[in-house]
Amino acid sequence: MSNTTSQENPVRTPRLEERGFVPALINAFIKLAPQHIIKNPVMAVVWLGTLVTAVATLAGWAQPGFGWAVTVILLITVLFGNFAEAVAESRGRGQAASLRRARKDLMARRLDKAGGEKTVPAAELRPGDLVVIEEGQLVPADGEIVEGLATINEAAVTGESAPVLREAGTDRSGVIGGTKVLSDRIVVRVTAEPGNSFLDRMIALVEGSNRQKTPNEVALGLLLGVMTLTFLIVVVTLPFIGGFVGVEVNVVLLVALLVCLIPTTIGGLLPAIGIAGMNRALQANVLAKSGKAVEVAGDVDVLLLDKTGTITYGDRQATAFHPMAAVDVAQLRQAALLASLADPTPEGKSIVKLAREMGEKLADPDGAHFVQFTAQTRMSGVDLPGDRVIRKGAMDAIVKHVKLLDGHVPAELEARVTSVARKGATPLVVSDGRHVLGVIELSDVVKHGIKERFARLRAMGIKTVMITGDNKLTAASIAADAGVDDYIAEAKPEDKLARIRAEQSGGRLVAMVGDGTNDAPALAQADVGLAMNSGTQAAKEAGNMVDLDSDPAKLLAVVEIGKQQLITRGALTTFSLANDVSKYFAILPALFAASIPQMAALNVMNLSSPTSAVLSALIFNAIIIPLLIPLALRGVRFKPSTSTQLLRSNMLIYGVGGVLLPFIAIKVIDVLISTLFSF
């Protein structure tokens, strides 16, 4: 999984004990209300069965001890099913609470048409309004910067304490209500209606109140509903069938049979699995606008990935030193290191790192005066005692600097600079006084481990396509280093949209990332569109996921989260249906063995008595739900493999295991019941 999530992430999933056991338990009882329980047909039938057994026991249709025992076990079964959903929702409420702290009673400095300012509550702002925000003030509403630039603290939303730069007219112009401006002055055009801001939608989603069921979840729910209705009809007709053969079936035993026939385990866990899928995405600092987006991510066939920032670091890194013919490479490294010791840019830091990795151990020299880079000089460096002047920068700037000192520029310099540039790298020239020492090669380096990530995706049958504006030779070189399956060189925004449509026309699901307004059409067209939080409002509206960390490589983690959700639901469904088989062998002999002796052959577990068999099966049926809650919330461990391998693994582990475990557990419970009680 991606490890880009901040250490201080405010949407970290709390442990249950942190949120409190009692609120989740109270919520489980609240969900017994008809308007809640009806949303889960399987649990609704169990709840109805609980009421029927209670009435039957009160009416004297069953032995009081046995009848009340069945009633209590059924009630506990329903509560455990509700509790699973309540636990998942409690996580969302914990996450939402931290988000609400960012949404205070904000005030805004709204501009009128004449350019004047008026302070109004943020709730009065409407799309199109212009507001002024200065250093130390909170952004009152979602919007786009139309004037100025500023550093902004987005920790309230992303958990990342490092400030980010937002600037008008760029792909990083979007701002979120509740974040804080740390410097400068900006004018923002409001883009969200009150109550429909980014934070409002985020809070609703993580609480589960706005969660729509995914297509697979709806299909599975329909299947469970049909199975429940079918078994209900079968059980209701049993007394009439028994009447023809002289068998009287007790109503409490009928309810017990029904509960063991219907898929109560997956019925109780299904809502929790869906909520947990969105929570796992949020743990990775990805806001999914719907559960469908998370699930579809698990089914994608093609990933479209921008080169810069996703496959490569996006900032140039020093990769080599090229000295002039008469210069020792150590002399070039020392000068480059000295010129970069006070350089705060990623390029400068990478030069220091490379030089030290190659053996240079110079520290900050005494009496040094560091010269910062400026757009005018296009070079930086250091002035040392003894009138020693070291500079690094663009070739023309260094050549001009050396000539001003009456120095000599080697004829080979231009050829060396051209050679580095042809590789798609950036050349920086280094001089020491009147002498040109050589060239530093800056390359946009392929991210460490990205090739292995692509190999994992390939093992899942997912094709990766790199998109870059580089020329074909550079694109081919980077694609080979990164291990992508295909690439689009010299790409324009419309090329992304065309490729997505081409893949979709072949029946494939496509995912992509983007952050600019020009990415919006492609994000909207893609089956999974991951928009960067730092991007424009148009991109965030077009995508169905937003990465709060603005890390394009997060798309790889999103795919794995989606796969994990699909696998978890499939595994637990397999287990639920499999362990129903074992419960049949416990309940059926108990129902009919007394009247039909031949049915005793089905008592393969050799249970002590019909009453004990029924209670043992029901107790197992109840306790297996809370035992599986941690697995439903955490998700089944994901390993990259094909669909066939996943199916085989599910059948072996959760299918065979789902059949064997109940045989063992029900027998153990039967021994305990027969020892402790006299049913």
| HSE-CB of 75 using CA atoms within 13 angstroms | 11
What is the torsion angle, in degrees rounded to the nearest 10, for the CA atoms of residue 206, residue 211, residue 215 and residue 218? 120
Q: Is 95 annotated as a binding residue?
A: no
Q: What is the DSSP letter of 14?
A: P
Give the separation between CA 588 and CA 304, rounded to whole angstroms.
Answer: 55
Cα gap 481→483, rounded to integer Å: 6
* 677 labeled part of a ligand binding site: no
Known binding residue 392? Answer is yes
The verdict on whether residue 378 carries a ligand-binding annotation is: yes
Burial string for 277-286 (b: 16+ CB within 10 Å, else e) reads bbbbbbbbbb
Distance of CA 39 to the CA centre of its chain: 27
Flag whether 406 is marked binding. no
Q: What is the chain's Cα-based Rg?
A: 33
The C-alpha atoms of residue 679 and residue 282 are separated, in whole angstroms, by 49
Contact in structure between 459 and 288 (CB atoms under 8 Å): no
Q: How many helices (H) and strands (E) does the chain have?
A: 24, 22
- Whole-Å CA distances, 442 to 274, 312, 354, 422: 46, 13, 11, 12
377 is in an annotated binding site: yes
H/E run at residue 164:
strand 164-167
**CA atoms of 39 and 50, how far apart (whole Å):** 17
Residue 374, marked binder: yes
Residues 6+ apart with CB under 8 A from 330: 359, 360
In sequence order, what E strands does 475-611 have?
A: 486-488, 510-514, 528-532, 545-547
The single-letter DSSP state of residue 518 is G
Active site residues: 306
Is 578 annotated to bind a ligand? Reply is: no
- Does residue 289 have a known ligand-binding role? no
515 labelled binding-site residue: yes
- Residue 375 assigned to a binding site: yes
Question: Please, are residues 403 and 409 in contact by the beta-carbon 8 Å criterion?
Answer: yes
* 103 marked as binding residue: no
Q: Is 547 assigned a ligand-binding role in the annotation? A: no
Q: Are 434 and 406 in contact (CB under 8 A)?
A: yes
Binding-site residue set: 343, 347, 373-380, 392, 515, 519
Q: Which residues are annotated as a binding site for ATP?
A: 343, 347, 373-380, 392
Q: Known binding site for Mg(2+): residues?
A: 515, 519
